[in-house]
């Protein structure tokens, strides 16, 4: 039988189940087997890997994952697709479909209960665009025992996540992602590879989860608060952005923070590396109440 990720099979499945695409759930299904094979191979899926998939849709990527992985747990929010997946995944007993919103799942508990110790766990997904960032932030900040995350997303968002300092794409999202992972844009994918076609092109981002965050800081919440504040108004200097955000620090204290962390307050947030934000936040933690 033809792969699910073909226009003929996708149309046939949709018609047989009298389904329409739900735009509000980010339903753009992949219809290019080559791209899917590339995702699976770049993700390094083998018969020792347990995969967590977000949003299987009608099973285009799930099918390719099932051919290589030990097991695939696929979380789908749309109840209409659960019956469809029961049908399309029937040749693949190594797939378990779970009808749940991924943002509601306690993945640490799920992994502890379902994955035998010593097995590799990887996340692979063609993410719904409307919640790409919340899903990734949840996966990263939960400190899951996973090796990597290989995900398709809007090209511009992937560029922001992987951006280096002093580039226009660098911002608080780049720092949040790189704090937890080493990131790499593998390839861009044109919108013609999906049905229905989205308005924008996509990219596949590979994230290797670090065993420890990239920088070790005294107060993680303050680190991220500082990063957020530093990009508050991109054209403003660090000093001005921080003055606005940390009102309980007076000008002299702020000068002291810059001096002790060896960071020039006239720089812009976009020029600071993750380590430099670390120095700044560690010194700041001594001053903020
Ligand atoms: N994996 C399929 C593919 O590659 O063709 C479908 C990908 S489509 C871009 C995104 C899928 O995520 C849809 O099936 C959508 O219903 C599902 N989805 C959207 N929000 C979700 C959520 N919060 N939790 C789980 N699945 C979700």
The sign of the dihedral angle between the CA atoms of 128, 134, 138, 141 is: positive
Hey, is 173 helix, strand or coil? helix
- Rounded Cα distance between 53 and 34, Å, is 19
**176 has pLDDT over 90:** yes
Query: Residue 187 belongs to what H/E stretch?
Result: strand 181-189
**Residue 102 has what DSSP assignment?**
G
pLDDT in tens, 104-124: 999 999 999 999 988 999 999
* Tens-place pLDDT, residues 183-221: 999 999 999 999 999 999 999 999 999 999 999 999 999
Q: Hey, which of 98, 110, 128, 191 would you mutate to test ligand 1's pocket, going by the most ligand atoms within 8 Å of its Cβ?
A: 128
E strand or H helix at 149? strand 148-154
Banded pLDDT at 1 (limits 50, 70, 90): confident
186: cis peptide before it, omega within 30°? no
Condensed to tens digits (0 to 9), the pLDDT of residues 128-159 reads 999 999 999 999 999 999 999 999 999 999 99
Render pLDDT for 50-107 as a digit per residue (tens, 0 to 9). 999 999 999 999 999 999 999 999 999 999 999 999 999 999 999 999 999 999 999 9
Is residue 14 within 8 A of residue 83, CB to CB? The reply is no
Which residue lies with its CA nearest to atom 8 of ligand 1?
27
- Measured between alpha carbons, how far is residue 177 from residues 170, 214, 226 in Å? 11, 10, 16
Kindly state the DSSP code that residue 289 receives in the 8-state scheme: -
Rounded to whole angstroms, how far apart are CA atoms 105 and 75? 9
Coil, strand or helix: which one is 51?
strand
* CA-based nearest residue to 159, from 130, 198, 185, 120: 185
- Whether 178 contacts 153, CB under 8 Å: no
Tell me whether residue 272 is annotated as binding. no
* 188: its two tokens: 């861009």
pLDDT above 80 (res 289): no
ipTM confidence score? 0.99
Name the residue with the closest Cα to ligand 1, atom 6: 57
The span from the CA of 70 to the CA of 51, in Å, is 8
Here the tokens at position 16 are: 């047989």
- The answer to whether the CB of 76 falls within 8 A of the CB of 97 is yes
Query: Pocket of ligand 1, candidates 52, 77, 199: which has the most ligand atoms within 8 Å of its Cβ, to mutate?
Result: 77
Residue 101, class by beta-carbon neighbours within 10 Å (0-12 exposed, 13-18 middle, 19+ buried)? exposed
Q: Whose CA is nearest to atom 1 of ligand 1?
A: 56
Cβ-proximal residues to 125 (8 Å cutoff; 6+ apart), any chain: 53, 54, 55, 61, 135, 150, 151, 152
């Amino acid at each position: 039988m033809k792969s699910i990720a073909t226009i003929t099979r996708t149309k046939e499945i949709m018609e047989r189940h009298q389904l329409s695409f739900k735009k509000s759930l980010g339903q753009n299904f992949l219809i290019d087997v080559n791209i899917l094979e590339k995702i699976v191979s770049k993700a390094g899926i083998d018969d020792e890997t347990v995969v967590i998939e977000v949003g299987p849709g009608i099973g285009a990527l799930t099918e390719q994952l099932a051919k290589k992985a030990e097991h695939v747990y696929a979380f789908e929010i749309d109840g209409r697709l659960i019956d469809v997946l029961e049908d399309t995944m029937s040749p693949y007993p190594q797939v378990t479909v779970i009808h749940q919103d991924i943002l509601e799942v306690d993945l640490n508990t799920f992994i502890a209960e379902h994955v035998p110790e010593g097995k590799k766990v990887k996340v692979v997904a063609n993410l719904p665009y409307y919640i790409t960032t919340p899903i990734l932030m949840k996966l990263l900040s939960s400190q899951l025992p996973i090796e990597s995350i290989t995900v398709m997303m809007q090209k511009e968002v992937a560029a922001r996540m992987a951006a280096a300092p002093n580039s226009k794409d660098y911002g608080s999202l780049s720092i949040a992602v790189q704090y937890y992972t080493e990131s790499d844009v593998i390839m861009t994918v044109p919108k013609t590879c999906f049905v229905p076609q989205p308005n924008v092109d996509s990219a596949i981002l590979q994230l290797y989860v670090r065993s420890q965050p990239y920088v070790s800081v005294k107060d993680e919440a303050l680190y991220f608060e500082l990063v957020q504040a530093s990009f508050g108004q991109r054209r403003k200097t660090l000093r001005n952005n921080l003055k606005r955000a940390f009102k309980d620090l007076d000008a002299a204290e702020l000068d002291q923070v810059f001096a002790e962390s060896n960071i020039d307050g006239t720089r812009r947030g976009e020029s600071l590396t993750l380590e430099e934000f670390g120095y700044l936040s560690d010194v700041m933690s001594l001053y903020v109440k």
